[in-house]
Amino acid sequence: MYDATLLHDKILSAAAAARLAVGPPLTAILGASELQLFLLLAQLPPNDPSGCETRQVNMPPRLPAQLRPYGRRGAVLEGYAHLERQSACFFCSLSRGFGRPKLARHPKKSALLAHARRFETTVATTPVNVNARVEKIDDPRKELESILLSLQKHAANHVNLSRLQLALNGLRQKPGDESIRIAILGLADGPARTNTAREVLRLLLSDPLKDSEAWEQQVEQHDLAEPMIIRIGAENRRSEPAISLAKDNLIREIHISSATLDGHNLEILLADTNPFPPASSKGALDGWEDAVLVPVVDIPTSDTGRCTPIAAPVHKALVVADGIRGAASVLSSMPASENVSGVLKYAVNIPEYRPTEASSLPFTPIDINTARMGLGLVRKDIGRAIEYEHLWFQSNIPQLVDWLKADILTTPGNITKPPVRELIASLLRNTSAALRAEEARLSSSSNARTHPRTLDDGLAEWAESAHSELQEQLDVAFSGGRWRKLGWWKLFWRVDDVGMLTSDILAQRFLPEAERGSVFLAGRMMEAGFRLSKPLPRSPYSNPVPVPNSQSSHSVANSDLAKPPRREISWPTHIPDTRSYLQTDTVPALQALAQKLVLQTLSTSGLMTALGALVYVGTLTTTLYEASAVAALGIVWSMRRMQKQWETARDFWEGEVREEGRKAVQGVEEAMASALTESSNSSQGIGNNATTTQDDLTRAKDLVERAEKVLKGLK
């Protein structure tokens, strides 16, 4: 075994001497074994980390005294500065080819390979902070942000995207220094607009130790019809990420400074709003949050006054009303839940009202005039501070100040602000409720789904009962008293009742149960999920949809007979259309025939009677019997013709009603059978869509559960 230090020193001395061409040769200095070891080391490639770098670290070279640098660099080694630049050990510098430029056949390829090797060397030699990567993955804020983004992708129809974006903006900011947006909404009293919201904002942010500032005048002169954003202490924080609603000065902004609110990243949205829908029931709480905490503001988009509504989600909202009518509007729209007191506050301006017990009221009564008077007194004379304090607390404005400051101040220790946590919790709660409602709807639809064979059996039963009803009901109708009242000999005093009696027969006896059964069967088809891509086939007697024509539009508009087009319905209308056809086309024709026959019979009988009388008077040989015979012949002939034609018309109308009823039943049966056939062919696709929807709901529910767990562990 060789002494490593001694061997290293001997090799260094020999190598330096050989390199500088001074001293005895290597064979004279090193032995055979040492020379062999030296040659093996000299054949190693330069910068080989498996040998040279390790040896350089474990065995630092000790140069002789004559080779040690003097000052910054030795005079002898000054000509070999490239060795230092390439950071190679002394043994590698003696290897063959070290320091010589290699001529590559493909320069570009060699350059790319060298570039790649350089990056590989950097990655291999640079220490990797593994803990930082694990900390990034285990960061609850990053994980919660990723879950919310996935929820936005997979449950976009069941989540409020505006509030979701606000929550994502909060998670992307520094913990404990998130931007908090509060809305001060002035409840409009009809077309009139009040100044209560502007006064409340001015009183909340004004400094009693300073004179009236410029921003106070801007707020007083602002029209609540246009929204305004007030950024508190934002002048010094423009470089930091914050929630921004205004783009290109579309919304007026005011930057103010407050001694108590500066540095807490607070934004206030001042806008007007209409009365909210009632939210007294617990089920209406989700819609109420979307209406109150996501106010819609109008953004002007052109010089013509056209505006575009944009949702402006907020963390907290202060609804300000005025007077007794405002209190009534607040009470009607206030939710019954007590979990919203931290995110919503109602304030009603009731001048000179002193409540005996403030906690008994669901809203905060305030007195704007009293607070304004106290603020004016202390600004004029600081010595009247006690009077100002008395008036200030008498106006109940301090309650609003405490609510405004609650949970919005910057928290130490990188702890997430409570409004951000409450926003995410509310968003997840509402999303979970929407997913449960959608899942219940799909489950109900799946449970109510009927097999096509059951519907086929129901259609067959309906067709059989409809044909039986048609035969039985029409037999009863045409053998009943109404039809017998229309005998041929009764037409003389019932000719005007033909239309009424026949219409009653059609309305009461023409397939009333079959029509209701067809509607019920169509409803069962829709409930079973057999929805049609096109409307059911219409009856041949249905009213056609009129096509607009430029030439006849004026005449159609002025015509009393012009009817609006019938909207498409999802059940067969063959029976009502056929009944309408019989009532509007055949009944008037039957009544006209009855009137014609009565007129012909009376006229013929009258003429023949007049002829008999004329013969009797004009001739002396004609007896009264003969003249009466002429009149009787005319009357009998006219009566016989009337009887024959009327009975033929009655039989024809009766047969037409039966035939049209049979066609109507057959049309309904064919239409519903074709609908069932088409729906059965596409039922497989419907089942696949339902399965896909259920999978999406399951994935979204898992994301919500994961987000709730991560939110509990969020600082």
Q: Do 674 and 537 contact (CB within 8 A), yes or no? A: yes
Angle formed by the axes of helices 418-447 and 140-154, nearest 10°: 30
3-state secondary structure of 255: strand
DSSP codes, 268-322: EEEEEEPPPPP--SGGGHHHHHHHHSS-EEEEE-STTS-EEEEE---SEEEEEEE
Neighbours of 198 (CB within 10 A): 23
Pairing of strands 252-256, 266-273: unpaired
- pLDDT over threshold 80, residue 434: yes
Q: Which pLDDT score, from 0 to 100, does residue 322 have? A: 85
Across 39-48, 124-133, 416-425, which has the greatest mean pLDDT?
416-425
Angstrom distances, CA of residue 254 to CA of 29, 227, 246, 548, 648: 87, 12, 11, 56, 92
Across 64-68, 293-297, 445-449, which has the greatest mean pLDDT?
293-297
The confidence band for 619, taking pLDDT boundaries of 50, 70 and 90, is confident
Sheet of 228-232, strands arranged across: 252-256, 228-232, 266-273, 180-187, 316-322, 344-349, 364-366
- pLDDT over threshold 90, residue 103: no
The span from the CA of 281 to the CA of 41, in Å, is 88
Q: 531 or 152: whose pLDDT is higher?
A: 152
Q: What is the mean pLDDT of residues 664-691?
A: 71
- pLDDT over threshold 50, residue 519: yes
Q: Do 361 and 377 contact (CB within 8 A), yes or no? A: no
Q: Encode pLDDT of 278-290 as tens digits.
A: 654 444 455 567 7
Q: Do 506 and 579 contact (CB within 8 A), yes or no? A: yes
- Sequence-separated (6 or more) residues with CB below 8 Å from residue 711: 140, 144, 421, 424, 425, 428
Neighbours of 492 (CB within 10 A): 11
Q: Encode pLDDT of 368-421 as tens digits.
A: 888 888 888 888 888 888 888 888 888 888 888 888 888 777 667 778 888 888
Q: What is the mean pLDDT of residues 43-58?
A: 43
Structure tokens at 611: 């002829």
Q: 67 or 342: whose pLDDT is higher?
A: 342
The span from the CA of 96 to the CA of 105, in Å, is 20
CB neighbour class for 180 (10 Å; exposed up to 12, middle 13-18, buried from 19): buried
The span from the CA of 680 to the CA of 673, in Å, is 10
- pLDDT over threshold 60, residue 115: no
The confidence band for 464, taking pLDDT boundaries of 50, 70 and 90, is very high
Three-class SS string for 48-109? CCCCHHHHHHHCCCCCCHHHCCCCCCCCCHHHHHHHHHCCCCHHHHCCCCCCCCCCCCCHHH
- pLDDT over threshold 80, residue 8: no
E-assigned strands of 405-449?
none
Q: Encode pLDDT of 227-265 as tens digits.
A: 888 888 745 444 444 444 444 456 788 888 887 887 788
Q: Which pLDDT score, from 0 to 100, does residue 692 have? A: 56
DSSP codes, 97-166: TTTPPP--SSHHHHHHHHHHHHHHHHHHHSPP-HHHHHHHHT-HHHHHHHHHHHHHHH-TTSS-HHHHHH
Q: 535 or 692: whose pLDDT is higher?
A: 692
Out of 105-119, 223-237, 326-340, which region has the weakest mean confidence (pLDDT)?
Answer: 105-119
DSSP state of 393: H
Q: Which pLDDT score, from 0 to 100, does residue 585 have? A: 92
Q: Do 404 and 182 contact (CB within 8 A), yes or no? A: yes
* Phi, psi angles (nearest 5°) of residue 364: -100, 115
Q: Do 459 and 525 contact (CB within 8 A), yes or no? A: no
The span from the CA of 22 to the CA of 159, in Å, is 85
Span between the terminal Cα atoms of the chain, in Å: 62
Core vs surface per residue 667-676: b (16+ CB within 10 A) or e = bbbebbeebb
Structure tokens at 74: 């030795």
- Sequence-separated (6 or more) residues with CB below 8 Å from residue 589: none
Q: What is the mean pLDDT of residues 574-594?
A: 92
The span from the CA of 230 to the CA of 310, in Å, is 18
Q: What is the mean pLDDT of residues 54-74?
A: 42
The span from the CA of 315 to the CA of 418, in Å, is 10
- Sequence-separated (6 or more) residues with CB below 8 Å from residue 160: 290, 294, 313, 427, 430, 431
Q: Which pLDDT score, from 0 to 100, does residue 531 have? A: 58
Share the mean pLDDT of the chain.
72
* Phi, psi angles (nearest 5°) of residue 309: -75, 135
Torsion of CA 455, 457, 461, 462, to 10 degrees: 20
DSSP codes, 344-361: EEEEEE-TT---S-GGGS
Closest CA to 442 of 529, 367, 500, 554: 529
Angstrom distances, CA of residue 362 to CA of 263, 345, 524: 32, 9, 48
